[in-house]
Each structure stands twice: as C-alpha cells, then as structure tokens.
Amino acid sequence: MNELSLDRTKIPQHIAIIMDGNGRWAAEKGQPRRYGHQAGVDAVKKIAAEATRLGVKYLTLYTFSTENWNRPADEISALMA
C-alpha cells in the first residue's frame, strides 16, 4: 500500500502487541535466544517509529510475563538490558 492510498481516518488510536516467540524464532534459524530477543528489539523500534509517524496515540507492548522470571538468569539479564 502506498502513502497516497492510506486512509488516515482509519488509523487506530491504540495498538497493543504481544511479543512472543523471539527465542523460538532464533532457534529455528540456528541462533542463540539472545539473537531473537535483539531482533524483537529492532522490530519494536521500527514499529514505534512508524506508529508515531502515522499518529497512533498509544502503543502497548506486552513483553515480559510473570512466567518469564523462571528463565535462566543470564537470559533475564539480557532481556532487561
């Protein structure tokens, strides 16, 4: 879709995203889980920039659930960094 065909009256005010599967995505590519988490960070940066450009007022990212505290300490540390 090009910019001319975008109906700005249909841009949502709030977008919510559940971040899930980055570690599995990386594993499928033969990479460490951290690689997938970094790819998730890169994607969020692009999404946030585009949402801002389009005029989305609220962007909610569900990125870390209580179950995630059961992950290995080094992975939690990498996620928090």
- List active site positions: 20, 68
End-to-end Cα spacing for the chain: 35
**DSSP 8-state class, residue 13:** S
For 33, other C-beta atoms within 10 Å of its C-beta total: 19
Residue 64 amino acid letter: F
